[in-house]
Amino acid sequence: MSTDIRRQKIVRILHELALDAREIEVFFSLLDLGKAKATILAKQVKHIPRTSIYDILQSLQTHGLISQFIEKDETYYQVENIEHVVDMIEAQKQKLTEKQDLIRSASDLFHQVKAGTAYQPAIRFFEGKNGILAIHRELQNARKETRTIVNIASVHKVFSSMLHEDNLKDFQTYKILKKDLMIKTLEAERYLKVSPVGEFHQTKWLPEEVAFQTDTLIWEGHVAIIDYTGHLSGIVIDNPAIAETFVAWFEMMWRTA
């Protein structure tokens, strides 16, 4: 293989490493010289300012193509073996893989936050009608299996439209199970006419002696408790262990209801 063909192949490789024309020229000058000081290289490539030579040498070192050493108190540069470049590329690939994993993780977390399923262990507080609606939206957007312990009569006092609006469309569309333990009231019976029981909406009546005016909503990693008496407020507990405990309590009640 001729020298020209070899140089052309090396040039293509250097272009792949994102080197520009001046860096490639300095590289070949140093390759021809074997070793050289920056001042000597500046004389070889006179059209490149001497101040730029140092920047170019630094760039070539960063790419792992050349190294520097001291000889008789003078700084010299020399071309390195191509294996050093391979090692650097492998290290860059590893860093790129780590970045990709980090971005994927961040992307997953973003979608979880958008869907309302992300959490850091915490307790969040909500007040007023808008605050309670924010909890409802978070649960709805999560599109995860949901369990509720609910007194529809208490909810109806604040959100009267629930008796003529089907709030189960997403659960039915995406085939998500929703299980409700309800206090049997006229409002609850009217609600079930709008949001009827089916494969993805299962309900059971709580014993007649049970009385409360709060909602308990349980979905993936979260528990919301909403107080409909007096000052309208709610809390969301973001903690998977606590959520799993509530699920266990719910299922125990479900079996005995």
For the segment 104-117, what is each residue's pLDDT rounded down to a tens digit? 655 555 655 555 55
Angle, helices 21-33/50-62, rounded to nearest 10 degrees: 90
For the segment 74-92, what is each residue's pLDDT rounded down to a tens digit? 899 988 766 656 666 666 6
The fraction of the chain above a pLDDT of 70, given in percent, is 83
Q: Which amino acid is at 62?
A: T
Q: Going by C-beta distance under 8 Å and a sequence separation of 6 or more, which residues neighbour residue 47? A: none
Domains 3-82 and 119-256 share a fold: no
Q: Beta partners for 89?
A: none
In order of 20, 25, 84, 110, the CA distances from 16 in angstroms are: 10, 15, 16, 34
Comparing CA positions, the residue from 202, 28, 239, 242 lying closest to residue 121 is 239
How many whole angstroms separate alpha carbon 156 and alpha carbon 75?
A: 83
Q: Please say if the pLDDT value at position 169 is more than 80.
A: no
For residue 68, the model assigns a pLDDT of: 86
Residue 11: CB atoms within 10 A of its CB come to: 15
DSSP 126-159: EEHHHHHHHHHHHHHHH---EEEEE-HHHHHHH-
Radius of gyration of the chain (CA): 34
**With helix as H, strand as E and coil as C, how does 38-63 read?**
HHHHHHHCCCCCHHHHHHHHHHHHHC
Length of the chain: 257
> Which numeric CATH code is attached to 119-256?
3.30.870.10
Q: Please say if the pLDDT value at position 202 is more than 90.
A: yes
For residue 109, the model assigns a pLDDT of: 53
Class for the domain spanning 3-82: mainly alpha
Q: In the predicted model, what is the mean pLDDT of the chain?
A: 83
Helix (H) or strand (E) holding 236: strand 233-238
DSSP β-ladder status, 178-182 and 146-150: parallel
Domain boundaries, the chain: 3-82, 119-256
